[in-house]
Amino acid sequence: MVTVSTGARLHVGFQNLSLAHDRLYGGVGVGLAEPRTRISAEPADDISVAGQPVGRYATRAVERLGVSGVEIEVESSIPRHVGLGSGTQLALAVYAATALAHDRPLAIRSDAPELGRGGRSGVGVATFERGGFVVDAGHPTARFTTAPPERGEWTVPPVVARHKLPESWRFVVVVPDATPGRSGDAEDASIRSVVEDASPAVADEIAGVLTRRLLPAAAAGHLDAFGDAVERIGRLNGTWYTETQGGVFRPPAGRLVEHLDEAPVLTGIGQSSWGPAVYGVTDRTHRDEAETLARDSLDELGLDGTVYVTRPAADGFRVHE
């Protein structure tokens, strides 16, 4: 039996959603140490899993690897459809565990499209591989237009920047109990409508923030500068989604963002992907105070939810034998 575990990821936003530029998407995000998905697998004559989407990913992995089958047990999982990248991490963990259980070599990046992953953002694949703060190159606009190609007919966008963030940093992630974020066909339709109308001027401003502020801050490990740049990119992304999600941030994430933005020990407040997960960053010295403020924010807004306080991921997936 082989066990594989992988951490969640935050998706700060895209570099470009306008068809006026040469490359579309271009994800910006961070791998997290927690929460984690943990998958155990052993060889079998057929596919034995409990429930979907694990069964779908196991089927694709078995087909791609050309093996007889696999028995999968999900020991823990990242919450689904809350903006923490659960789908990509689950799919790749199932794939990796299946391959290793059968002593097959891993080809994570090249096989991810066959699993239906990396069709827009490459952040989830990149953080599964090696963790860190990641920026990917996006896809050629002429090929992707308003929708990705069929499954398996794309390549995961290459990583153009990756930095290991300081171990002393702590990301505070607040997941309110709310309607799940968009996925599948609903996400495709929403992205399509956004891309058709996205302003290229927003992408131009994001490019400046990314190159002149965020990348230098990540490379140097400057927490406040990193947070300021992340927050700016998140808000700029939100202007593309205003009509689709009901504001720069979707409800109730927007209320949490504005509430947490007043906390002096947190910086870089934003919404991850479609939410409702909201994040901020602090250091270990202020960890307990930041966690208390996050829980108090849920209470004061009359929301139930979960708070995670986690290190940035220093590595990618782990194998436990």
Does pLDDT of 181 surpass 70?
A: no
Distance CA(42)–CA(65), nearest Å, equals: 14
Residue 262 is predicted with a pLDDT of: 92
Distance CA(18)–CA(135), nearest Å, equals: 18
φ/ψ region of 86 (left if φ > 0, alpha if ψ in -120 to 50, else beta) reads: alpha
DSSP code at position 305: E
DSSP code at position 138: -
Residue 69, judged by CB atoms within 10 A of its CB (0-12, 13-18, 19+), counts as middle
- Mean model confidence pLDDT for the chain: 94
Number of other residues whose CB lies within 10 A of the CB of residue 138: 24
Band (pLDDT 50/70/90 cuts) for residue 184 is low
Distance CA(155)–CA(232), nearest Å, equals: 29
Render 236-248 in DSSP notation, one character per residue. Answer: HHHHHSHHHHTSS
Distance CA(151)–CA(137), nearest Å, equals: 19
> Containing domain of residue 221, as a range?
2-320
Distance CA(11)–CA(127), nearest Å, equals: 11
Does pLDDT of 277 surpass 70?
A: yes
Chain segment 67-91, per-residue pLDDT in tens: 999 999 999 999 999 999 999 999 9
Distance CA(230)–CA(135), nearest Å, equals: 12
Spatial neighbors of 221 by CB under 8 A, at least 6 apart, are: 165, 166
Poorest-pLDDT segment among 151-160, 233-242, 301-310? 151-160
Band (pLDDT 50/70/90 cuts) for residue 182 is low
Count of domains forming the chain:
1
Distance CA(277)–CA(225), nearest Å, equals: 22
Residue with tokens 């089958």: 69
Look up the CATH number of the domain holding residue 41: 3.30.230.10
Let me know: does 174 contact 277? Beta carbons within 8 Å: yes
Residue with tokens 């953002």: 121
Spatial neighbors of 286 by CB under 8 A, at least 6 apart, are: 170, 265
Q: What is the pTM of this model?
A: 0.95
254, 183, 88, 141: CA torsion to nearest 10: -90
Residue 189 is predicted with a pLDDT of: 78
Q: Please list the alpha-helical segments (H only) found in 3-85.
A: 54-65
Cα-flanking dihedrals φ and ψ of residue 300, to 5°?
A: -70, -25
Burial annotation 156-188 (CB, 10 A radius, 16+ → b, else e): bbebebbbbbbeebbbbbbbbebeebbeeeeeb
Instruction: Output the six-digit token pair for 73.
Output: 């047990």
